[in-house]
Amino acid sequence: MAYTNEQIAVMDSIIARYPRKRSAIMPLLHFVQSIEGYVTNEGIELIGQKLELATAEVTAVSTFYTQYKSKPVGDYHVGICTNTLCAVMGGDAIFDAVKEHLRIENDGVTPDGKVSLEHIECNAACDYAPVVMVNWEFYDNQTVQSTKDLVDSARAGNPIPPTRGPKTLRTWKQNSAVLAGISDGLANEGVQAGEPTLLGLKKAKGGA
């Protein structure tokens, strides 16, 4: 697909944030994913042109980072934490059950293209274990059943909203734009903190 003039202008504005333009490579890769869903050859060539880099240099960066995908993922990309703590608390059981439920393996996509699955590393929410992320939004304190319900709701096109995040779960492409630094105006939605985050403060104030 050809990028529109408007999209090219956004890329220029991303480059303009930095003192040296090569620094823009990561947000530009997120931006390409927001347009095409994954890092395409065309996206790599365009970034190379913009930053005056060889395509091999752009590819070298793109393939280093796991969030950049070399093939399409689902509209709703599900990450189940199987690092030690979440795995022990139930992440392994959730991951096994969801693979079976969706009949896909790690890095797989459902045939309808709606949901993809990946086991992920620690996502900095251990006090909410077991943790599941969809399009990198928090789904806290998950169980086998709650995660099955979550992926079913996503396949039906009406995903359960995140625990700590916007009121409505956005698609993979929409959230990729946020990671590229383009505001979607949803920062005020959702809680400021979940209960575990507030527990110490509550105890300090004499709460039970």
Partner 1 sequence: MSKLTPVLSANWDQADSFTIEGYKRSGGYTAVGKALAMKPDEVIQMVKDSGLRGRGGAGFPTGNKWGFIPQGDNKEHYFVVNADESEPGTCKDTPLMMANPHVLIEGVIIGSYAIRANYAFIYIRGEVTHVVRRVQQAIADAYKAGLLGKNILGKGFDLELVLHVGAGAYICGEETALLDSLEGFRGQPRLRPPFPAIAGLYAKPTVVNNVESVASVPAIINNGVAWFTAMGTEKSKGFTLYSLSGHVNNPGQFEAPLGITLRQLLEISGGIRSGHKLKFWTPGGSSTPIFTDAHLDVPLDYEGVSAAGSMLGTKALQIFDETTCVVRAVLRWTEFYKHESCGKCTPCREGTWWLVQVLKDLEAGKGSAADLDKLLDLCDNIMGRSFCALADGAASPIISSLQYFRQEYLDHLSAGSCPFDPAAATLFESAGVR
Of residues 116 through 175, those in contact with partner 1 by CB under 8 A are 120-130, 133, 135-138, 143-145, 162, 164-166, 175
Smallest distance from partner 1 to CB 83, Å = 5
Q: From the centroid of its chain, how far is CA 57?
A: 24
The side-by-side arrangement of strands in the sheet containing 76-81 is: 115-120, 76-81, 132-134, 137-139
Smallest distance from partner 1 to CB 32, Å = 12
**R_g over Cα of the chain:** 19
Site for partner 1 in 62-91 (CB under 8 A): 64-68, 79, 82-85, 87-90
Nearer to partner 1, 110 or 175 (CB): 175
From the list 173, 198, 136, 195, the residue with the least C-alpha distance to 34 is: 173
Contact between 186 and partner 1 per CB under 8 A: yes
126: exposed, middle or buried (C-beta count within 10 Å: 0-12, 13-18, 19+)? middle
Smallest distance from partner 1 to CB 111, Å = 26
Nearer to partner 1, 112 or 203 (CB): 203
Contact between 107 and partner 1 per CB under 8 A: no
Nearer to partner 1, 4 or 199 (CB): 199
E strand or H helix that includes residue 58: helix 55-62
Nearer to partner 1, 105 or 111 (CB): 105
Smallest distance from partner 1 to CB 112, Å = 23
Are 61 and 29 contacting, i.e. CB atoms less than 8 angstroms apart?
yes
